[in-house]
Amino acid sequence: MTVEDTVNEAAVHLAAAPRERINQLCEHDGRIAWITLSRPERANALDSETLELILDALERAEATPGVEAIILHGSGQHFCAGADLNELLGNGPGGVRKLLDLFRQVTIRIEQSHLVVAAAVHGAARAGGIEISLACDIVIAAKSATFGDAHLSKGLLPGGGSTVRLPRAIGWQRAKWLILSAESIDAQTARDWGLAFDVVDDADLLAAAERHLLAMTHGDTESMRRAKMLLSMVDEQNFSDGLEAEIATLEEHWKSESFQSGVGAFLSRRTTK
């Protein structure tokens, strides 16, 4: 598929494709499922109910035939302000554990999903908002987007993965500055630092997220699952073990229909030219 074909397909999806509801937060229209954070009055703060709905949406999207990718975005003026502070403050240490265990499940599920997951970010992505975007496979930022850890500005500490994922994404010095200063950066800086892949006009955000996602999907979710698994293991093993994991995974992948049909079709095209 050419870049022009991808752009045209994205435009057709947005303009014409009817969406089928998967759960309270999620709809799909063919190859893409859309998860919409829907608490605009709270800047889409993440409470336990929302996190459970996201987990359910991920599971249902993965089980829906034809779905290859997910776009996570926010309703209202912002992407996500982070965890729901009322729930963090009001339910004691056990409430902190419950909420952040759910948050951890969401981020790991995104990283390990056989679907490609994009965050389409506009307005503020703070604390848990930046943490959930770090788990996604690609981040597309609107020009209005700002990114910040912000935990320390409220007497909090990171609990959704900032101290683990942020240094891996942007390096130690920048990660320390974002976490310890509690300051935010604009969309262009986020792209320059590696927090976002592209910056687009706000009006083009969802179309751009869809366009980039379609370029990353090939109708082969089994290969995608294994590739994402290898990438997620990078920081958990040494260099030699990583090289062995690649070979061992491809050795197992040889048995799959994806390998046999994909390589077979490529070789058939070569012999007929």
3-state secondary structure of 239: helix
Least confident of 4-8, 41-45, 46-50, 222-226: 4-8
Mean pLDDT of 24-42: 95
Least confident of 131-140, 159-168, 184-193: 159-168
Check pLDDT > 70 for residue 145. yes
pLDDT score recorded for residue 223? 79
Check pLDDT > 90 for residue 126. yes
Q: What tokens does 197 get?
A: 């892949």
114: nearest Cα among 254, 257, 229? 229
Mean pLDDT of 81-98: 88
pLDDT score recorded for residue 271? 62
Mean pLDDT of 222-231: 79
Share the mean pLDDT of the chain.
Answer: 87
- Would the CA dihedral through 7, 13, 15, 21 be positive or negative? negative
pLDDT score recorded for residue 104? 95
97 vs 35, which has greater pLDDT?
35
Least confident of 20-29, 135-144, 210-219: 210-219
Check pLDDT > 60 for residue 9. no
Q: CB under 8 Å to 171, separation ≥6 — which residues?
A: none
Mean pLDDT of 89-104: 89
| 67, 35 Cβ separation under 8 angstroms | no
Distances (CA, A) of 263 to 119, 127, 165: 32, 43, 35
Least confident of 3-17, 30-44, 58-72, 163-177: 3-17
Q: Please write the tens of the pLDDT for every residue from 171-210.
A: 999 999 999 999 999 999 999 999 999 999 999 999 999 9
Share of the chain above pLDDT 70, in %: 88
Q: Please write the tens of the pLDDT for every residue from 41-66.
A: 999 999 999 999 999 999 999 999 99
Q: Tell me the C-alpha distance between 161 and 148, whole Å.
A: 13
pLDDT score recorded for residue 270? 61
Check pLDDT > 90 for residue 234. no
pLDDT score recorded for residue 6? 38
Share of the chain above pLDDT 90, in %: 65
Q: Tell me the C-alpha distance between 253 and 260, whole Å.
A: 9
